[in-house]
Structures are given as C-alpha cells and as structure tokens.
C-alpha cells in the first residue's frame, strides 16, 4: 500500500518552490533540512519509527528485548555508532550499505563489527546504514524500526549521526531511563525532534529498578514537564528488558505500533505535512523580513538594520561576549581536571601495588630481565587503569557540557533579542532556526612509564646477583609505582587541560558561526535588493497556497 501519488507530487512541488526561494534569497541554512525532507518524501515503502534518546538510556537493549533476540550490541559505554534499520523479513538477514553506495550481506553475528563503537570506532569502515530483516516484525510489516546512536556521549560522530537523521524520522519512540527522568538536554532534544515529527511516544526504560510508587512519580514528572513545554500530552509507556517484558511488548504493539501500521498512509501524510510545515514557516520568516524591508526607502534601510542589529547583536559585541565566556571557563579547567584525577590517585596506587606484589613472584632472570618485566608490567597496568578512567571522560564531558549549556543559553538570548527587534521594527514574528552545538571528540592522551633506574644500573646485572638482592630490588620497584602514577596523572592533567580548552574554543567557534550566519543573512535581507515587494509577496503567496493545498489533500 502506498500513499496517494497526488500528495507526494504536491509535496515535491512545494519543496521545489522552497528550494527555489532558498537559492534566490540565499537561505543556505535551510538546505540540509530541505534535502532530508526530500529524502523522506522519496522513501514511501516503509514508515520509519526511530528509537531516539540520550546515550545509556537503553535503546538497543529495548529493541533487543522487543525482538526477543540479542541482535544489536549493548554495553555500559556508548556502543551504537551507526544507524540500524529493522524491518520484517521471512528470514534473518543483515545488509550493510557503505557511504560509497556499495552493499554487503553480513552474518548476523558480525553486526557488532559494523555498528558498534568497539568494532567500528569512529565509523572507520564508512558504514552509512545497516538494514536488518527479522521475522519478529510480521505483525507490523509497514513499519521499520530505527536504532540510533545516543545523543550526548563523548563521541561527536555519534551525536552527528543521530541529529542528521532527525529530518528523515517518521514516528519517534523517545527513550528515557527511569534512573534519570527527563533532563534539560533531553527536553531540548525533544523540541528539536518535534520540528520534524509530531508522532512522539515516551518509553521509560529500566523500570524494574523502581517501585510502583516511584514509577508513578516519574511518569507524573515527565508528563508535567512535557505538558509545560509543548502544551500537549504524549503517550508514556513503561519498559523493562528483564521484568514483565511480554506485557510491555503487548502494550507497545497495541498502543503504538499497530495504530501506526493500520493507519500507515494517513500517518505518513500527517508527518510529511508537519515536516514541510516547519520548513515552510522558517522560509516564510525570512521572506517576510525581506518583504518588510522592501517597503522601506533605501535611505531608511541603514537605520533599519542598525535598529534591528543593535549594539548587543553586532558581530564585534558577540565575539567579545563569547571570548569572555571562553576565558571564564578555561581559567578553571586545569584545577578541575587536577582535582578529578587526584581523586583516583590513592585507589590507583593501592591497586597497582597489590597487583605488583602478585606479579613480582613470577618474574625470573637476572636484574636486566626482571627490570624489563617490571617496566613492561607497569606500562601495561598503568595504561589499562588510566584508559579506563579516560574512557568514561565523565569530568571532561561534564566540563564541556557546562560550557555548551552556557552557550545554548546565550544563543537562545541572542535569538530572542533578534526576534524581538524584528517584531518591533518590521512587525514580523520570526521562527528562527534552532542551533545545535556539538561537543567534539577528545583525543586520548598518551601514557608512558620511565625507566626503573635513573641510569642503566640494570646493564651491570652481573654485579648484582638476584639470589641475594631480589628483595632489595623488589622494594626499589614498588617505590617507583607512586612516582609513575604521579607523573602520568600530571601529564594527563596537562594534556586534558589543553584538549578541553581547545574544545572550548571549538564550541565558541560553532556558536560564533551560527550567530554570524544569522547576522549576515538578516543584513542581506534588509539591505540587498532581492526583488521588489510585489515579487517577494508573490513568492510568499506561492508557498502559502501550495502548503494550504497540501494540507487539504493530506487530511
């Protein structure tokens, strides 16, 4: 079954009109969303239901439990690194599509090698998407479930993979862990998703960890937050992969999947209309700015621009404010990292000393051989322990998340001031684009161990018979452990300080780029001649007429 061809035709005509306006008025910021919605309009065979949410919310575990088979990789750290689409098939089948367009059928057991962070770190294998066919989806053959990397992990490419998929989503299952009910970041994520799909259901995972009273409180809290933010209610479902899973699966099918599948065409048309409506509103905002500016005399346009882009919105002021924000955080970075890493010092020294005591008894040979064994052991052990600390990067990400939150607030204030000025001066109520600042990936610092002796005493091994002096050297080696821990923690503090501060500069640069793009576009719309008012009004009328016609057809 497919949606009425006329609706797709009208949608494509409207998208073509918006693309023409974007080219005519240099609305480059809308082009990525435009391409994604065109892709959604083209793929009419399935209706995608994307599983979205923060990392560690339990998205892959939820899908595995629903499919009643461990097909997708799960773990304690962010695991999924690429998009996986799951649809009905008579037999299990996994197909990888690469960025160059080539495809490869792989064994089910090999899925982690292509979609997990450990098997495909940073997506070095250039995978675009994994398509998985399973018999378990026989009852909802019109749907395709989409597993996505989590938002907010230490790996930027995971966040970018997911956010770039937003415009192509159909329905959305937004997964929230009961361990940490809806956060500010999750609410912002939902607001961004809502621009592209109104069909959102909330799935609270890990419910087996809480009592009934606690779960009711969690549900009420989430419902209240969403009602305040969206002025509407969303379906909220519970889920556990370990307790009452069959009951939760049945409820999920009855409340979400089957209504979607049975009303697939109507849902598809509604979502497509919603996506195009958000894009059209953004486009009309800029056209209305250009139209109102075209009504002004050329001699007045300079004053108009100066009033709208007042002293708090001009580029030098914005840059100075962002540099102040950057400086205030960067001066605290080193001390914060030092305090964080020092909290591991005592435990690390104790653990390594205990492991050394067990390992030393197995080292045989002369002083030179034992020294090399000690250095190798300490290098490997320190590397393993410090990498475990770095793998979580909790403090690094916490510091950068604080900067990101501050910048998000600044960007919001910037947009609100710009919107207020546009409304006051031109009478335009703009729907300006939301901006997502992404935290980049921190390169892992190196870990090294010094030689066990300040000079090459071990080369004179023949002067020190280990039979008699073994305990002396055992005590010498153990005294090296705190020194090496201290040295490497100091090095990590310096390295992370530099890397975090570099990433703060990157976040500032992203924010500045967003604001400069908006400032430059508004300046262009206010000052450059993009056609007379009649021409601009004609473009506005064309978009509005085509969208009203699409609404009538898709209802």
Q: Are 353 and 481 in contact (CB under 8 A)?
A: yes
Last residue of a domain, one of 228, 262, 296: 262
Please report the pLDDT score of residue 44 as a whole number. Answer: 67
Instruction: Look at the block and give the residue holding tokens 């809502």.
Output: 194
Strands of 54-156, DSSP E = 83-88, 93-98, 103-106, 127-134, 143-147
Count H helices and E strands in the chain, helices first: 17, 9
Average per-residue pLDDT for the chain: 82
Q: What is the pLDDT of residue 440?
A: 64
Listed residue (239, 250, 257, 243) closest to 60, CA to CA: 239
Q: Which residue has the higher pLDDT, 512 or 188?
A: 512
Please tell me the distance from the alpha carbon of residue 548 to that of residue 545, in angstroms, as a whole number.
Answer: 5
DSSP string, 397-420: HHHHHHHHHHHHHHHHHHHHHHHH
Give residues with Cβ within 8 angstroms of 377, minimum separation 6: 356, 359
What's the CA gap between 440 and 312, in Å, rounded? 28
Find, among 390, 399, 395, the residue nearest to 348 by Cα.
390
CA-CA-CA-CA torsion for 477, 479, 482, 487, nearest 10 degrees?
Answer: -70
**Is 353 among the domain residues?**
yes
Name the pLDDT band for 157 (thresholds 50, 70, 90).
Answer: very low
- Comparing 1 with 130, the larger pLDDT belongs to 130
d(CA 278, CA 287): 14
- Residue 290 belongs to a domain: no
Judge whether residue 74 has pLDDT over 80.
no
Q: How far is CA 68 from CA 65, 148, 347, in A?
A: 5, 19, 41
Please choose, from the candidates 471, 473, 438, 474, the residue with its C-alpha nearest in 3D space to the C-alpha of residue 457.
473
Residue carrying the six token digits 């398509």: 131
Instruction: Check whether residue 47 and residue 165 sit in a common domain.
Output: yes
- What confidence tier does 495 reach under pLDDT thresholds 50, 70, 90? confident
Same-domain status, 245 and 330: no
Same domain, 211 and 150: yes
**428/325 same-domain check:** yes
**pLDDT-derived band at 444, boundaries 50, 70, 90:** low
pLDDT digits (tens, 9 = 90+) for 30-72: 888 898 888 888 876 778 888 888 766 677 888 889 998 888 8
Q: Give the confidence band of 234 by pLDDT, cuts at 50, 70, 90.
A: very high
Residue 298 inside a domain? The answer is no
244 and 355 share one domain: no
pLDDT above 70 covers what percent of the chain?
Answer: 85
Model confidence band, residue 465 (pLDDT cutoffs 50, 70, 90): low
Same domain for 209 and 353? no
Q: Is the pLDDT of residue 325 over 50?
A: yes
As a whole number of Å, the end-to-end CA separation of the chain is 18
Question: Does some domain include residue 56?
Answer: yes
Half-sphere exposure of 156 toward its Cβ, with a 13 Å CA cutoff?
A: 13
Is the pLDDT at 453 greater than 90? The verdict is: no
| Matching residue, tokens 């021409």 | 535
The reply to whether 340 and 218 lie within a common domain is no
More confident residue, 448 or 427: 427
Confidence check: pLDDT of 394 > 70: no
Q: Are strands 47-53 and 143-147 parallel, antiparallel or unpaired?
A: parallel
What residues make up the domain containing 469?
315-529
Q: Which residue's entry shows tokens 């080292």?
A: 363
Does residue 510 share a domain with residue 367?
yes
> Is residue 496 over pLDDT 60?
yes
pLDDT level of residue 300 (50, 70, 90 thresholds): confident
The pLDDT of 469-485, averaged and rounded, is 81
SS3 319: helix
Say if residue 256 is in the same domain as residue 366.
Answer: no
Q: How many domains does the chain have?
A: 2
Residue 295 lies in a domain: no
Helix (H) or strand (E) holding 493: helix 466-527
Do 423 and 522 lie in one domain? The reply is yes
User: What is the per-residue pLDDT for 162?
Assistant: 46
335, 474: one domain: yes
Residue 246 has pLDDT above 90, yes or no: yes
Tell me what pLDDT residue 80 has.
46
Structural domain ending residue among the three candidates 239, 262, 285: 262
The answer to whether the beta carbons of residues 393 and 447 sit under 8 Å apart is no
More confident residue, 165 or 551: 551
Confidence of residue 150 (pLDDT cuts 50, 70, 90): low
The pLDDT tens digits of the residues spanning 158-173 come to: 344 445 566 677 888 9
Q: What is the pLDDT of residue 245?
A: 93
Q: What is the pTM of this model?
A: 0.69
pLDDT-based confidence at residue 528 (cuts at 50, 70, 90): confident
Q: Is residue 389 in some structural domain?
A: yes
- Domain final residue pick, 218, 241, 262: 262
- Is 535 contained in some domain? no
**Is 269 within the bounds of a domain?**
no
Residue-wise pLDDT for 23-32, tens only, equals 999 888 888 8
Query: In a 3-state reduction of DSSP, which class is residue 73?
Result: coil
pLDDT band at 466 (very low <50, low <70, confident <90, very high): low
Residue 175's beta-bridge partner residues?
53, 203
What mean pLDDT is predicted for residues 271-300? 87
List strands edge to edge, sheet with 47-53.
103-106, 93-98, 127-134, 83-88, 143-147, 47-53, 171-177, 200-205, 236-238
* Of the candidate ranges 146-160, 418-432, 434-448, 529-543, the one whose mean pLDDT is the lowest: 146-160
Condensed to tens digits (0 to 9), the pLDDT of residues 342-375 reads: 988 999 999 999 998 888 888 787 777 777 888 8
Do residues 351 and 460 share a domain? yes
Distance CA 186, CA 401 (A): 13
CATH classification at residue 91: 3.40.50.300
């Amino acid at each position: 079954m497919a949606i009425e061809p006329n609706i797709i035709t009208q949608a494509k005509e409207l998208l073509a009109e918006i693309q023409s306006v974007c080219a005519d008025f240099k609305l480059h910021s809308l082009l990525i969303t435009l391409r994604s919605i065109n892709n959604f309009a083209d793929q009419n065979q399935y209706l995608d239901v994307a599983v979205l949410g923060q990392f560690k919310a339990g998205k892959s575990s939820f899908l595995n439990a629903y499919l009643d088979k461990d097909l997708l990789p799960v773990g304690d750290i962010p695991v999924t690194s690429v998009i996986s689409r799951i649809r009905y098939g008579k037999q299990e089948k996994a197909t990888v599509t690469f960025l160059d367009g080539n495809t490869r059928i792989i064994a089910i057991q090999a899925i982690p090698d292509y979609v997990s962070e450990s098997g495909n770190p940073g997506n070095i294998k250039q995978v675009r998407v994994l398509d998985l066919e399973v018999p378990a989806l026989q009852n909802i053959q019109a749907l395709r479930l989409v597993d996505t990397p989590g938002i907010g992990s230490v790996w930027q490419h995971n966040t970018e993979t997911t956010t770039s998929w937003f415009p192509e989503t159909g329905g959305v299952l937004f997964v929230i862990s009961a361990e940490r009910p809806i956060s500010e970041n999750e609410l912002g994520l939902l607001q961004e998703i809502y621009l592209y799909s109104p069909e959102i259901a909330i799935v609270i995972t890990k419910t087996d960890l809480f009592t009934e009273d606690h779960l009711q409180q969690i549900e009420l809290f989430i419902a209240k937050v969403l009602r305040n933010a969206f002025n509407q209610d969303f379906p909220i479902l519970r889920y556990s992969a370990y307790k009452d899973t069959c009951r939760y699966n049945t409820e999920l099918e009855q409340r979400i999947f089957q209504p979607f599948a049975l009303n697939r065409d109507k849902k598809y048309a509604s979502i497509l209309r919603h996506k195009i409506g958000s894009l059209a509103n953004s486009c009309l905002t800029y056209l209305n700015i250009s139209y109102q500016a075209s009504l002004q005399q050329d001699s007045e346009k300079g004053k108009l621009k100066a009033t709208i882009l007042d002293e708090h919105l001009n580029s030098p002021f914005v840059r100075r404010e962002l540099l102040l924000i950057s400086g205030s955080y960067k001066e605290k970075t080193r001390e914060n990292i030092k305090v964080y890493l020092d909290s591991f010092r005592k435990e690390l020294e104790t653990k390594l000393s205990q492991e050394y005591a067990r390992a030393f008894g197995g080292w045989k040979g002369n002083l030179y051989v034992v020294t090399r064994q000690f250095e190798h052991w300490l290098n490997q052990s320190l590397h393993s322990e410090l990498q475990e600390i770095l793998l979580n990067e909790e403090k690094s990400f916490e510091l950068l998340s604080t900067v990101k939150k501050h910048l998000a607030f600044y960007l919001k204030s910037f947009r609100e001031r710009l919107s207020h000025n546009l409304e006051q001066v031109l009478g335009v109520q703009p729907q300006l684009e939301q901006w997502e600042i992404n935290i980049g990936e921190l390169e892992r610092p190196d870990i090294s161990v010094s030689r066990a002796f300040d000079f090459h005493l071990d080369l004179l091994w023949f002067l020190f018979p280990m039979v008699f002096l073994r305990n002396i050297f055992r005590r010498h080696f153990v005294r090296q452990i705190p020194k090496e821990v201290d040295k490497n923690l100091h090095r990590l503090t310096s390295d992370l300080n530099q890397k975090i501060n570099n990433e703060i500069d990157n976040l500032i640069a992203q924010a500045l780029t967003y604001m400069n793009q908006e400032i430059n576009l508004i300046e262009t719309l206010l000052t450059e001649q993009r056609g007379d008012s009649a021409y601009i009004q004609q473009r506005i009328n064309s978009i509005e007429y085509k969208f009203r016609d699409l609404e009538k057809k898709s209802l």
